[in-house]
Structure formats: C-alpha cells, structure tokens
Amino acid sequence: MSKGNKAHSVTGRRIARNFQLAFNEQEGEVDFETDELVIEVETTATLQDGIERLKTFEQKKAFVAVTNQDALREALALVQGLSIGVINAQGEIVKQAATPAHND
C-alpha cells in the first residue's frame, strides 16, 4: 500500500525474486496476487490497513510482508489468531498462512 516507499520497493522486489512472482507496483492494488495467494508489502505505518485489506481475500492464502524488524513484531501480534501469514523483510515466511476452505 505504501508504493512510493523505498523499503516497500526493495522488499517487494526481494519477494518477487524469492517466490518468482510478478510485483504489482500500481497504487491501490495488491502487491502480489495469484489464483492461490495474495501478498501485501507493508511498512509499520501501513501495517494495520494492509491486514484489514487481506481479510477480504477469504479464498486465497494471504500474507503480509513487512519491511523491517519493528514491523515484523507488530505484524505477528496483529495477525495472532487470524489465517494471515507473515513474511519478513528478507522474503522468508515467518508465519504460514492458513489454507482456505474451498466450497467446490
């Protein structure tokens, strides 16, 4: 959500490389989205908004990726009890996202 932020761009490019995904740098859109997952890169300032946005993706694995250690601690606290996973600034999964139930 903080698309103009350098830390956001660096973290987003790192995740794109690690997960072999296309990084969407368009303002107002999620950073990464496939048929199975969605990832939002957030700074400490935008973390709460990003998590709220991820809650709307009930049919996909959802991850919030953070840009620094302070945001990591805060993200882990904010997603406690939620199905949302957490990715650190190095692009490593710290908390796995729950697999959504499919109503096929």
The percent of residues in the chain predicted with pLDDT above 90, rounded, is 83
The domains located in the chain, with CATH, are 6-95 (3.40.1350)
β-partners of residue 37 are: 61
Residue 95 has pLDDT above 70, yes or no: yes
- pTM, to two decimals: 0.91
Task: Give, as one character, the DSSP assignment of residue 43.
Answer: -
Residue 104 has pLDDT above 60, yes or no: no
Of 36, 38, 47, 57, nearest to 5 by C-alpha is: 47
